[in-house]
Amino acid sequence: MNEIICVFDVETTYGTHLGRKGSPFSDGEVNLCSSGFLFDDGTYSASYLVSEDAEGVRQGVARGSREWAESFPDLTGVDLLVGHNIKFDLLWYWRHPELESFLARGGRVWDTAYAEYLLSGQFYHLAQLPHLTPSLANIAKRRGLTHKLDVVAAMWDQGIRTEDINEDVLMEYLAGDCTTTMELVKAQMAQADRQRQRHMIEGRMEGLLATTEMEFNGLLIDLDEATRQQTELEEQIEALREQLSVHVPALPAEAEFNWNSTAHLSALLFGGKIKYKAKMPILDENGDYTYYQTKVQKELWQNGKPLRYKGGKNKGKIKTKMFTVPDVERGPKERYEEMYVELPRMTQPHHAWKAAADGQWSTASKVLEVLEKRDIPLVADLLALRRAEKDLGTYYRREYKGKMTGMLTMVNHEGYLHHNLNHTMTLTGRLSSSKPNLQNLPGPDKSQIRKAFISRFGKDGFVAEIDYSQLEVVCKGVLSGDKNLLQALVDGVCFHCDWLSLSPLAQGKSYEEVFRLCKVEHDPAWVAKRKQIKPLTFGEAYGAGVTSLAESTGMAAEDVVAAIEARKLKYPDMYAYDEANIAAVKDSRRPSQLRTPNGMQAGIGYLRTATDTIYHFVEGDSPDWMQHKGIMTSFTPTTIKNFPSQGLGGEIMQVALGRLFRWLIKNRRFNDQVLLINTVHDCCWLDMHESCRYLIPKISAIMENVSPYFTAHYPGVNWTADFPVEAEVGPNFYELENY
């Protein structure tokens, strides 16, 4: 049966509010100027919503106004609502009765920007090739579709307000967008069918409905609590700066140590010269001081006697003359000259840390984290300062280059934060977050910021975090079909203890013995060993080399190799799956327009996974040992190993969010007392009224119900593994307890 499609688009005030372009949450600062709806039978409905007040100011309409309500058409009979970057348009009409009715009866959405990104294997977002970004104009040109009218975009670039653009020009632009988008969605659907990706795309579009709901609901911020934390953080930063100063040797008065300078920090840690400028006297060719000149009137003497005037009005007075002499009182001439002070080495750098600048070493956070294990007080203090400054500028308020930055600058007057959840910004298809980035919040052990995220229901509410357990590991087990790994998941194996038992650090003890010592008896020595092995658990999964793993764990290189080899024997199918994927990507390699950092032509390879998601991989410059063999470019095995499991984890999360959204819509969000508010990687955040606490098990069950859904649509894979979640609730996201 053919779907009935409606394409829609809106045009708004051209501006930003609290960091969001064209924000529908601006209380009238940004307004709706026009909207258009094109049905696939050719029917077109459009509304021009700009009017002029008594003072001649042209203005659009706000969400919730009568004009806004009347501008959305009846969607009865429509199956699919389509837009380009559709979340932007949806948010302007979110909670409109017609849209709510459409969604309640099962109406679906299709974002043509998102679909283009997925159809390309997440390729069409590359900043290196701007003409390939998934803008409607770029896609239309690339696909040979009806081109957009560029004059409106040009007017915006010139600073012309949308409200001041001629009505006929604006409405022609709007109609053109709708026409192009209708052509595009039909082309995309045909391509999705050819590539067997239709169902995968539709499942992710359901997740987009959930993230639209999350952005609309926003998160409530306790501004008093956030301000208290900011004050404490600023005091901590000041104390850390003072503390750091004791680590710097005495310097010449003119030399000021700059903690933000890689050159200075490299010299301090690894030895080297710090350059500074100081005033130095200018010497002449004989090495003597040179002076500024001054005019001095002197008496004239001859043979020890003054010369006097013999006549005239000055008769008898001593003759004088003006002479140019060195201005000794002013002092020698000076100029600023480059000087150097040599600092002693604190610790030995690793050869891989050599920086491009001559004589410098990398001081990136990853390097400092390795050095921290060498028990260097300076490094611990510096990392603490960097983390504190990053937190201040990211999650609070800080002035930077004359502008205020930080999460709190995006909170509205009611205390709500309407964040951005991005669907087209990663190589794996996972979501990202921006303005602010709420997917990278520090844990409770590093920051209190989560305490500022509270329930909008006050004392009658709570927040909830429902988190998949070891989702990427489960995905790796499912995709690889490794029976040992799947059984380990069923048995609830602690993979840190598992790695430890496979390493020489275990001294021959079995996994069961290691687990008992670490997790049951909490033996300090074995707890410390488990902590030591953690960088190996994560690092090997992300492709870190043996040398790097030895540095991060403090283990001998041969012990790292032994642990990895033992794990390969224990989980052979998992490693075989990775190697097969690497071979498949290499076999699919094709030349491209892209270049490596060294200017070499980069090839592109592709990999198709069990859920019909396609991933692309771009070659980079080969490591030195490969270049010595004449292999100048290569794929990074790390990404090929990780993308399938990371991407599947992201897809499972998005599908689960979509199913949660549908359940909530069906139940009218339980009188708006169960609200989706955010997703962080493998977990879902909710804001709930206390009366709905009993629903936590149902929400968990929806998220855990992965196997039946994916088995029905992707039967070629064994989906029988469990996908367990853990539910935590609390008054804020800092003070969470297991449900």
Phi, psi of 438 (to 5 degrees): -95, 10
Concatenating the DSSP letter of every residue in 267-311 gives: HHHH-EEEEEEEEEEPB-TTS-B-B-EEEEEEE-EETTEE-B--S
- CA dihedral 186→189→193→199, nearest 10 degrees, is -160
Contact between 555 and 549 (Cβ < 8 Å): yes
The first and second tokens of residue 172, run together, are 């022609």
What CA–CA distance (Å, rounded) separates 318 from 523?
A: 102
Q: What pLDDT, on the 0 to 100 scale, is given for residue 126?
A: 58
DSSP code of 516?
Answer: I
DSSP code of 378?
Answer: H
Q: What pLDDT, on the 0 to 100 scale, is given for residue 131?
A: 65
The first and second tokens of residue 76, run together, are 């009865």
Q: What CATH number has the domain spanning 418-471+593-739?
A: 3.30.70.370
Q: What pLDDT, on the 0 to 100 scale, is given for residue 304?
A: 86
CATH superfamily to which 5-195 belongs: Ribonuclease H-like superfamily/Ribonuclease H (3.30.420.10)
Topology match between the domains 5-195 and 418-471+593-739: no
User: Long-range pairs for 438-443 at CB < 8 Å and ≥24 separation?
Assistant: 438/219, 438/678, 438/680, 439/679, 439/680, 439/681, 441/395, 441/680, 441/733, 442/387, 442/391
- The number of angstroms, rounded, from the C-alpha of 560 to the middle of its chain's C-alpha atoms is 31
Which residues of the chain fall short of a pLDDT of 50?
none
What CA–CA distance (Å, rounded) separates 578 from 584?
A: 10
Three-state SS for 683?
Answer: strand
Q: Which run of H or E residues covers position 343?
A: strand 334-343
Contact between 11 and 148 (Cβ < 8 Å): no
Q: What CATH number has the domain spanning 223-277+337-417?
A: 1.20.1060
**Pairing mode, strands 80-83 and 108-111:** parallel
Contact partners, residue 407, CB within 8 Å, separation at least 6? 221, 394, 395, 396, 417, 436
Contact between 48 and 170 (Cβ < 8 Å): yes
Q: Which run of H or E residues covers position 33?
A: strand 32-39
Q: What pLDDT, on the 0 to 100 scale, is given for residue 129?
A: 66
Q: What pLDDT, on the 0 to 100 scale, is given for residue 732?
A: 97
Q: What pLDDT, on the 0 to 100 scale, is given for residue 203?
A: 96
Distances in whole angstroms, Cα of residue 495 to Cα of each of 250, 446, 705, 735: 48, 23, 24, 26
Q: Which amino acid type is present at position 46?
A: A
Distances in whole angstroms, Cα of residue 680 to Cα of each of 65, 234, 345: 34, 27, 42
For the segment 441-498, what is each residue's pLDDT rounded down to a tens digit? Answer: 888 888 899 999 999 999 999 999 999 998 999 999 999 999 999 999 888 899 999 9
Instruction: Give the start-to-end residue ranges of the domains of the chain.
Output: 5-195, 223-277+337-417, 418-471+593-739, 483-570
Quote the Cα angle for 240-243-249, to 5°: 135
